[in-house]
Structure formats: structure tokens, C-alpha cells
Amino acid sequence: MTIPAPEHPESGTGSTEALDSVLVIIEGPGDKTRRRRRPKIPLTPPTPRPPRSDNAAGDQRPAK
Amino acid sequence: MVPVPLALGLTLCDYVLVEEGTKKVTLVGSFTGVRAGSFPHIPLPFCVYAPLTGGLGEGTLELTVTNLDADEEIYSLVRSIHFPDRFIEVRALFRLHECEFPAAGSYLFTLLVDDEWIAHRRIRVYPMEATP
């Protein structure tokens, strides 16, 4: 729904607008074909990374 | 598209007002639940709004709706998009008509660019007599 821009008072208060952007409107009844969900997104959380086995305490190099 | 854009949000709402001239948008009636009188349920047309940034070049933007309980995609809308530079904001506004929810349950709205996941939002659809 498009609405007219409100009139701003000419008192130097300024105004705002949507700059550097493109509005893309996608209308439609869309595709209603039923199909199995495509495996695009993992719905289970990723497995955590194993802890680092070496030098886990940080950069503590043995003294030479 | 490389790099794939980042979604700054994904909002389902009743209406989106677009101001002439300034192109500012106002989202009205953001929701995460739908109360249905009977099933299958076709709600009044509603909007999905997602501002995207960080992409570059041409790509295919797709919004899908998946019934999570049946693991079945029930609706999709596709459109090509163009990012002239990485700082441009492409504001995608989907207006969904006749999005039919076959049964009560959870539905996932997923946004994809070139088949890559960008964002998702879950809503719950429940019968009018039930407690959400």
C-alpha cells in the first residue's frame, strides 16, 4: 500500500528518507506445489568443535 | 551471488506502507501466530519484509514456507535481484496471497539467495478454539 509523503513544515526541521536502497516488491499467489522440504538449512544445531588438545592454556611456550 | 547478502531482519506483518517519494516503509501488525477458524486455512493477504545488504551482482531470491510437522514445503515465491554494490540495501517486500495452511502447527518462512539460507522465521498456526 502506497501512502503520500507527509508535508513537512518549512521551518528547517528537515526530514528523513530511504537512501541507497532498492525496494523490490514480489507479489503473488506463489507456487503451491507440495514437496518435501529441500535440505537447505540445518534445523539441528551444529556439533560443537572438540576442545583443542595441544596448548589449550594459551601461548605458553616452554623456555629454551 | 558472491558474496551472499546478509538479512537485517525478516518480519511477517499485516501491511507494509510505502511512502511516496521518500520510499520509507512502515510495517504494520507484525505477527508470529495465526488463528484459524478451520483447516485448510487461507489467511488474508499478508507481507514478509526483509532488508538485505552485503550482496554483489545478480542472484535469485526465494521465500519458502515449510510445514515443520510434515516436513513439507507448501509455498514459495521467487524473484531475481541485483546488488549494484555491497552497501546497497535491497528491501524485499513479499505480498503473499492465498498462502494456504493445511493444518495447525508450526510453519517456517525461509529466505534464500541462490539456494543459500539467509534467514528464517517461525510462526504457529492454531485453531480458533485452542489456546496458543
Contact criterion met (CB < 8 Å) for A30 and B16? no
Please tell me which of the candidates A23, A25, A40 has its beta carbon nearest to residue B115. A40
Contacts of A23 in chain B (CB under 8 A): 18, 23, 25, 91, 93
Block mean pLDDT (10 aa), chain B, length 132: 92 95 94 95 96 96 94 93 95 95 96 94 93 78
Q: Which is more confidently placed, B66 or A3?
A: B66
The number of beta carbons lying within 10 Å of the beta carbon of residue A42 is: 8
Q: B87: part of which helix (H) or strand (E)?
A: none
**Confidence label for A5 from pLDDT (cuts 50, 70 and 90):** confident
Task: Return the pLDDT at B104.
Answer: 96
Contacts of B106 in chain A (CB under 8 A): none
CA of B105 vs chain A CAs: smallest distance (Å): 16
Q: Which is more confidently placed, A10 or B49?
A: B49
Taking the C-alpha atoms of residue B7 and residue B109, their distance in angstroms, rounded to an integer, is: 13
Determine the average pLDDT of the residues in A4-20.
76
Taking the C-alpha atoms of residue B121 and residue A23, their distance in angstroms, rounded to an integer, is: 21
- Which value does ipTM take for this structure? 0.88
- A22-60 pLDDT, tens per residue? 999 999 877 776 666 665 666 666 677 888 776 555 555
Measured between CA atoms, the residue of chain A closest to residue B44 is A29
Contacts of A30 in chain B (CB under 8 A): 75-77, 96-99
